[in-house]
């Protein structure tokens, strides 16, 4: 079977193109977040997996929960995903949509992993250097992982900058094994 990202990408791309043409990127972000929250709910997952429940019943419950927070296109998306048994792809569709939106807006997300909590000044300095290097606005998400021993590890898209003590030790061990 194909990877979820492979199946989700055309949905995300179609939604993105529609949202871009309509000038409704923020609205679609909100709708996808709502659809994702409902789809990931344990009770909704159980209902969706129950063979005794029809697609129409799942659709009714789903749309009742969403209420009037979905426009006609959002309702059509939910119906399409339910009809094709692709509701489980919603988190991946939402993630890909947000990636496309961020890329279009010239924003990249950076995951900064540090051994200890960073100060606001340290985060601002790292973000400034990343913005200079990647030539785009960076939104930072900071995580603490004591296992990296010291320093930081930064992930921006497919680029990993490992300036952690653990990373240096692993690099040294690899070199010594030669």
Q: Would you tell me which CATH number, out of the four given (2.70.98.20, 3.10.20.600, 3.10.100.10, 1.10.520.20), belongs to the domain 4-102?
A: 1.10.520.20
Kindly report, as residue ranges, where domains of CATH 1.10.520.20 are found in the chain. Answer: 4-102
Q: Confirm if 136 and 122 have CB atoms less than 8 A apart.
A: no
pLDDT recorded at residue 1: 56
Cα angle: 34, vertex 40, 43; to 5 degrees: 110
Kindly report, as residue ranges, where domains of CATH 3.40.30 are found in the chain. Answer: 107-177
Proportion of the chain above pLDDT 90, given as a percent: 80
Token digits for 45? 């997952």
Task: State the Cα–Cα distance between residues 50 and 58, nearest whole angstrom.
Answer: 10
Per-residue pLDDT tens over the stretch 40-58 = 998 998 888 888 999 999 9
Q: Which residues contact 30 (CB under 8 A, 6 or more apart)?
A: 69
Task: State the Cα–Cα distance between residues 71 and 32, nearest whole angstrom.
Answer: 11
Phi-psi region of 106 (alpha: psi -120 to 50; beta: other; left: phi over 0): left
pTM: 0.69
Token digits for 36? 């994702």
Neighbouring CB atoms inside 10 A of 123's CB total 16
DSSP letter assigned to residue 16:
H
Say yes or no: domain 107-177 is CATH 3.40.50. no
First to last CA, the chain: 39
Token digits for 64? 């009742």
**Which residues are registered as beta bridge partners of 161?**
154
Per-residue pLDDT tens over the stretch 80-122 = 999 998 988 999 999 999 989 988 888 988 999 999 999 999 9
């Amino acid at each position: 079977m194909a990877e979820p990202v492979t199946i989700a990408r055309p949905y995300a791309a179609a939604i993105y193109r529609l949202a871009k043409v309509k000038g409704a990127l923020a609205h679609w972000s909100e709708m996808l977040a709502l659809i994702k929250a409902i789809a990931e709910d344990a009770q909704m997952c159980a209902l969706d997996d129950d063979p005794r429940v029809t697609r129409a019943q799942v659709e009714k419950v789903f749309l009742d929960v969403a209420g009037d927070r979905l426009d006609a296109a959002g309702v059509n998306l939910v119906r399409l995903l339910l009809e094709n048994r692709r509701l489980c792809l919603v988190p991946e569709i939402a993630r890909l949509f947000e990636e496309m939106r961020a890329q279009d807006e010239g924003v990249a997300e950076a995951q900064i992993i540090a051994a200890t909590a960073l100060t606001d000044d340290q985060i601002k300095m790292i973000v400034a250097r990343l913005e200079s290097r990647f030539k785009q606005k960076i939104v930072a998400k900071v995580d603490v992982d004591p296992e990296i021993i010291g320093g930081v590890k930064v992930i921006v898209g497919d680029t990993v900058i490992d300036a952690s003590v653990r990373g240096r030790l692993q690099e040294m061990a690899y070199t010594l094994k030669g």
